[in-house]
């Protein structure tokens, strides 16, 4: 299925254009579509590049063939009892197809949005890891430049604990809590061997 498939585009167009038309008006529209289909098909066979709007003649022919098909479908529907004017909402077959197309379109858009987010994260050094027992999370790889004071304290901590700066900072990040007002706090700890990817826990409102 394609968002721009000629039949889907034609169905949407004809359902909108035929709304409120009676049987004779729908038949006239179908006849006009048949004429345009024949003209564009002939232009395609003759390799006529001078088609309207400068469109590709094959694409234009496919568009009018699809419109003719949809006009005929509505015309046949109008020939059944109970139809005085075309009502798109009462066109069950057309409505079902439109719903399916819209669902598919939304799925494609959601997938494209997710892909763009993954590409944006990758561009900023973010990746998706699996944290044991926590499901998918986002890990962070980053390079830090520390001022002399913080760097000296970090070196002291690594020397006393036998851990690397990355291990100390990762375990510090595991203990960071974010209050509702954005204040950061961390509980005292002794660095251990490297474990799961660091997580920042958000303190719930009212939690001390």
Q: For residue range 180-198, what is the model confidence (pLDDT) as tens digits? A: 888 888 888 888 764 444 4
Which of 120, 151, 185 is at the close of a domain?
A: 120
Domain assignment present for residue 129? The answer is no
pLDDT in tens, 155-184: 888 888 888 888 888 888 888 888 888 888
Q: Across the strands, what pairs with 185?
A: 177
DSSP for 170-185, written as a single string: HHHHHTEEE-TT--EE
What's the mean pLDDT in 90-101?
76
Show the domain range for 41.
Answer: 6-120
Catalogue the E-assigned strands of the chain. 126-131, 135-140, 176-178, 184-186, 201-202
Q: Across the strands, what pairs with 202?
A: 178
Do both 75 and 11 map to the same domain?
yes
Do both 93 and 30 map to the same domain?
yes
Cα separation values, 205 from 172, 180, 200, Å = 22, 6, 16
pLDDT in tens, 107-135: 888 888 888 887 776 665 544 443 444 44
Q: What is the structure's pLDDT at 54?
A: 52
- As a whole number of angstroms, the distance between CA 61 and CA 47 comes to 12
Do both 82 and 51 map to the same domain?
yes
Of the segments 6-15, 67-76, 124-133, which one has the largest average pLDDT value? 67-76
Domain assignment present for residue 126? The answer is no
Do both 147 and 112 map to the same domain?
no
């Amino acid at each position: 299925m394609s968002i721009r498939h000629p039949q889907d585009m034609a169905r949407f167009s004809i359902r909108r254009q035929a709304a409120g038309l009676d049987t004779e008006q729908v038949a006239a529209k179908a006849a006009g579509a048949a004429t345009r289909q024949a003209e564009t098909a002939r232009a395609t066979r003759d390799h006529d590049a001078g088609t309207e709007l400068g469109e590709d003649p094959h694409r234009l022919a496919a568009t009018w063939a699809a419109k003719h098909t949809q006009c005929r479908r509505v015309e046949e529907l109008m020939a059944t009892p109970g139809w005085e004017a075309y009502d798109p909402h009462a066109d069950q077959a057309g409505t079902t197809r439109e719903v399916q197309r819209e669902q598919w379109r939304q799925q494609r858009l959601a997938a494209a949005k997710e892909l763009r987010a993954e590409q944006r994260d990758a561009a900023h050094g973010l990746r998706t890891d699996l944290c044991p027992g926590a499901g998918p999370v986002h890990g962070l790889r980053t390079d830090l430049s520390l001022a002399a004071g913080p760097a000296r304290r970090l070196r002291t901590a690594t020397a006393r604990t036998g851990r690397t700066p990355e291990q100390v900072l990762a375990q510090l990040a595991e203990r960071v809590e974010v209050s509702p007002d954005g204040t950061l706090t961390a509980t005292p700890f002794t660095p251990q061997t490297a474990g799961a990817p660091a997580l920042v826990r958000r303190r719930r409102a009212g939690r001390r």
